[in-house]
Chains A and B, each alone.
Chain A
Amino acid sequence: MKLPDFEYVAPASADQVVKLLASRLGEAKVIAGGQSLLPTMAYRLAQPALLIDLKNLAELNRIVVEPTGVVLGARTRWRDIEDSEELKTGHPLLKEAIIHVAHAQVRNRGTVGGSLAHADPASEMPCIAVTCGAEILVLGSNGERLIKAEDLFVGPLMTSLAEDELILEVRLPAWPADRRWAFKEFARRTGDFALAGVAVFYDLNEQNLACNVRIGVAGAGSCPLRLTNAERALNGQLVNEQTIQAAAMAASEQVEPLSDLHASAAYRKSLVGTLLKRALEEALNRNRLDCQRG
């Protein structure tokens, strides 16, 4: 499965990338780690005439953890997230999710920007982005704009990016130190695409009731999804066996997954509920010490 032919360029700035994209509308594709793009080209499902390599855009390779939130440059590799000490407390949910991305060799090359642009509904990063209410900064011919994560993903492998737009960075809201969270994914083997994955976090108010509940799911539909019904079942409630059960049932009911070779829709619906239940149980039992240890 040799790659189809293409022209190749590795420009020095984001502006140049955008100019190139604009000049070859629809024919050009950006390549960073290539871990999703090259397999599709090997199967000749994608045959871009021009590949624009981001390898010289060093400025896109950054992780910033500030009180206002976390910024990940588009070229941040999964490996960089794994190695980041700051993210242990800066965004433990992100760190946990990333461990599930494929395998070590892929994590050494694959990037945040690549994953968001590829928009596989079973991928971890899109799910985290949607769950956390991330914003994605993109650059196009008309300048920069911020896209809300929920507006970025429009379908399986489809984003709302224009053909001349480049993802520069993703911004995650700040992460409070005593937040409860969990990430649970079920795949057939280590590193496989999730049959379903659930990301959940909530805070506790002074009455020990859950607030700011956010629940996102991967692999159970055409896009990563926030399970708003399940969130409502928990918001303002005590998190206990009954409310967890109610949230899990709401989650199962809300998702509309597809059937494929690996799993039926009915199974995925049930799986989402099971994973959410287990995620909430884990979040419930995650204590302050765990948060700090990371």
Chain B
Amino acid sequence: MTARDKFVGAYTRRVEDQRLLTGKARFVDDIHLDGMLHAVIVRSMVPHGRIKSIDVSQARVMPGVHAVFTGEDVARMCSGIVPTLPLRLSPIPEHVPFQQTVVATDKVRYVGEPLAIVIADSSALAEDAAELVYADIEALPVVSDWRISARNEVLLFESLGTNEPVTYTAQKGDAKSVFGPYVRRECFSIQRHSAVTMETRGLVASWDTVAQKMIVYGVAKVPFSTRRTLAALMDIPVESIDMIEVDVGGGFGVRGEFYPEDFLLPFSSRQLGRPIKWVEDRLENLLGSNHSRQMECELEIVCELNGRILALRGEVHIDSGAYMRSSGAVPPRNVAQFMSGPYDIENIHIESTAHLTNKGPIGTYRGPGRFEADFFRERIIEIAARELGIDPIAFRRMNLVRSEQMPYPLATLDKPHKAEDLDSGDYQITLDRCLTEFKWNDKLPLQGKLIDGVYHGISLACFIEGGGGGIRENARIEIEDDGQVTVYVGSSNIGQGVVTVLTQIAADALELPMQSVRVCHGSTIYLKEGSGSFHSRSTALGGSAVLLAAGALKDKIREAAAAHFQCAVSDVHIGRNLHITCGEQSLSAADLGRMKLQAEHQFSSHHHTYAYGAAAAHVTVDPGTGKVELIDYFGVEDIGRIINPLTAKGQSMGAVVQGLGGVFLEHMAYDEDGQFLAGTLADYLMPTANDFPQIRVMELENSPSPHNPLGAKGCGEGGIVPVGGVLANALASALESLNVQPNSLPLSPARVWSLIHE
């Protein structure tokens, strides 16, 4: 096969598209099963309170209602104890007492917390009945921010004596005792926001009473983990549960974790012996799907006068919401461990504390803890550079980790003890490429100038993004009777193009056309075990598993063919389209299929990969309205190996725009009374086509990762990481003459105006 024929590395249109373009996709709300009922969750409108009683008597007798279950009912049906949701990622014993029950029991701790589930003939009827569920809740004082939480005067868990489940410390060297000629401390903050996928969450749970089997549709991200958790919570064998992944409308970290509904739906289905569908409405999605990003950081940088960073130290306070749940431990641990980003800093001491508040619980959202760390760190670097009179590019360049330092140790985290190394990379290359493509020198004369009533500013930030998490992935490849090849993989499709990427890898490895390869992903019916899609791992781990399974399959083909041809294994030739020859003899792919040939492989890696890059932005600021226009944005990322340039670029672009939404628009705001203010999409604002039309991204593959056979570093999240830092710094540059320091996100027009005028 000539290089020209390879799919890997070529712009490859997606195999997923046909059904998505023609209205033939199958998202969970598209599922209609015979006898299917509909569930609606009754949710607390009180942010913090003691439940005195829940009266469901009127709801139960509404037309079309089949059942209403409260915490009391669930407890009774679960041997007296309402199950608790475990943390999936980085769990430590400290978290356990702060976990959420699948439905509220004695207290409610956030607006949106489930109080009961109503099951009826239609969701409209269930909603009608839900309005008649009366919860008598004695309101308690509201812990509305981390400072109030930290006083430990009003406790979310009275018996635990604290609102702080955990403080992480990331350390390197001896930051506390470092002195230097320049020391600068500053406070930064980021507002609460999160993924807000276009498709809200949803599930169809179907309990087959005869077969004693549970089928759940609508899972995503980590179906095997979800299955294990559900089995444990329902006290049924893992093998009795099938988790089926259908089409999924975006994940970004938030969909697919184990939420209360992931128990309540299967539980209810088993009680009623009927399939039940639940689809989150948009208000519920904004209230109750994992929140993220809200942090305050006091960061201190110690430098030489020439700009060499000597130490980075500080504290981060995470507004974790009402419970520790699902992936909620990751943002606090990440922001501490990755505060240094791509910079060579010998002395680091960052403490990050999770604080419980009466808000929706947090979890991971694209680039968790890293978007935050980048904002904090790039801001203080920019401040330091300005105050030291050093060119901000030169400052960064001088401090970047050098390629000869790889593998480069980051700060080590405690709880659990985790060292972390940057795997490979030449950060100077991406910095230089960014400067060139952005046309930094051409734009520099505009810096800080007021032209036609607007101020111009440019800035640049460097970043790393971790990928390849989760240790292992499984793939199995089978040859079918008709010569087609089916690849079963544990990776999940969340719309990111993984099916196409894995098809490319398999097709190249087996020298087949793409149409001959079918990828079955995510559902637990395909493999005994799988890990899923999170932490930018599907290509690095899933792809590697597929690649190695293909290699194992070829070994099996050679052996089977040798036996069939009665020749030596080394004389067997595997040609294109799985046309097997040995001298005059041959076998077709269909022949191989009839021989039932298949191979399985589990790829493991205990090392994370690190994509890296740089991003630059040019903004204008209208001092009258506070409006910031993004004139140009350029981001470059080395992702180790570009399997599909088309989809890799799509990931980058989408990630950048989400980041811009976080910088300028999105805010899951609460008032001091714990009431949620962003319950519509007219309040929670996301980017539209008209907001950021000028964005350019580029992917490189100069530094493959040594940690997987593809060299892939993952590319789903990097684009979002630098956005906060680079935009805030561009704004600071634009308004330097007015001494504006944008240290808090979002940079809404009102806030920018206030920084200028107040």
Query: What residues make up the interface of A, taking CB atoms closer than 8 Å to B?
Result: 1-5, 39, 43-44, 186, 188-193, 195, 261-264, 266-267, 270-271, 274, 277-278
Contact = CB atoms under 8 A, between A and B. Distances in A.
Interface in B466-515: none
Given A188-B748, A264-B754, A193 B682 contact: yes
A188 B749 contact: yes
Contacts of A266: 754, 758
Given A261-B667, A270-B757, A2 B123 contact: yes
Given A261-B677, A267-B750, A267-B754, A188 B625 contact: no
A188 B665 contact: yes
Given A186-B627, A261-B683, A267-B753, A2 B690 contact: no
Contacts of A267: 626, 749-750, 753-754
B691 interface: yes
A57 B258 CA distance: 52
Contact of A192 (B281, B682, B687): B682
B625 A274 contact: yes
Which of B131, B627, B690, B753 is most buried by chain A, counting CB atoms within 10 A of its CB? B753
B568 interface: no
21 contacts: A1-B281, A2-B127, A3-B124, A43-B679, A44-B127, A186-B625, A188-B685, A189-B687, A189-B688, A189-B691, A191-B688, A195-B749, A261-B667, A262-B683, A262-B748, A263-B749, A267-B626, A267-B753, A271-B753, A274-B624, A277-B624
A249 to B, nearest CB: 13
Contacts of A191: 688
Nearest to B40: A2
A188 B682 CA distance: 10
Contacts of B559: none
A43 B283 contact: yes
A261 B669 contact: yes
Which of B626, B679, B750 is most buried by chain A, counting CB atoms within 10 A of its CB? B750
Give the dominant DSSP class at B's interface: loop
Nearest to B281: A1
Which of A190, A193, A262, A271 is most buried by chain B, counting CB atoms within 10 A of its CB? A262
Interface residues of B, number: 34
A278 B627 CA distance: 15
Interface string B664-688: 0101010000000111101101011
Interface string B121-163: 0111001100100000000000000000000000000000000
A73 B691 CA distance: 34
Which of B665, B682, B690 is most buried by chain A, counting CB atoms within 10 A of its CB? B682
A278 B750 CA distance: 18
A263 B690 contact: no
Nearest to A274: B624
Contact of B753 (A39, A261, A270): A270
A137 to B, nearest CB: 31
A266 B688 CA distance: 27
B757 A5 contact: no
A274 B750 CA distance: 13
Nearest to A193: B682
B747 to A, nearest CB: 11
Nearest to B749: A188
B579 interface: no
A189 B682 contact: no
B282 interface: yes
A266 B755 CA distance: 13
A292 B664 CA distance: 39
Given A190-B688, A263-B749, A274-B625, A1 B754 contact: no
Given A1-B282, A44-B131, A271 B625 contact: yes
Nearest to B131: A44
A63 B687 CA distance: 35
Given A4-B128, A190-B691, 8 more contacts: A2-B122, A44-B131, A188-B685, A193-B682, A261-B678, A267-B749, A271-B753, A274-B625
Nearest to B284: A1
Given A2-B123, A186-B625, A264 B750 contact: yes
Contact of B750 (A192, A193, A263): A263
A187 B729 CA distance: 24
A190 B629 CA distance: 13
A189 B685 contact: yes
Smallest CB-CB A-B distances: 9 pairs? A2-B124, A274-B624, A267-B750, A263-B750, A190-B690, A1-B281, A261-B677, A2-B127, A267-B753
Contacts of B688: 189-191
B400 to A, nearest CB: 36
A272 to B, nearest CB: 11
B218 to A, nearest CB: 19
Contacts of A186: 625, 627, 749
A6 to B, nearest CB: 12
A189 B753 contact: no
Interface in B601-650: 624-627
Contacts of B627: 186
Contacts of B749: 186, 188, 195, 263, 267
Contacts of A270: 624, 753, 757
Contacts of B122: 2
Contacts of B667: 261
Given A271-B625, A274-B624, A262 B283 contact: no
A3 B124 CA distance: 7
Contacts of A1: 127, 281-283
B758 to A, nearest CB: 7
A186 B748 CA distance: 13
Contacts of B754: 264, 266-267
A1 B43 CA distance: 13
Contacts of B687: 189
Given A1-B282, A3-B124, A262 B690 contact: no
A190 B753 CA distance: 19
B64 to A, nearest CB: 11
A8 to B, nearest CB: 15
B574 to A, nearest CB: 55
B43 to A, nearest CB: 13
B722 to A, nearest CB: 23
Given A261-B677, A261-B683, A267-B750, A189 B124 contact: no
A41 B73 CA distance: 32
B663 to A, nearest CB: 13
A135 B753 CA distance: 37
Contacts of B124: 2-3, 5
Nearest to B625: A186
Contacts of A271: 624-625, 753
Contacts of B753: 267, 270-271
A163 B355 CA distance: 50
B623 to A, nearest CB: 9
Contacts of B758: 266
A75 B76 CA distance: 56
Nearest to A103: B688
Given A188-B685, A267-B626, A262 B750 contact: yes
Nearest to B626: A267
B145 to A, nearest CB: 16
A278 B453 CA distance: 11
Contacts of A264: 750, 754
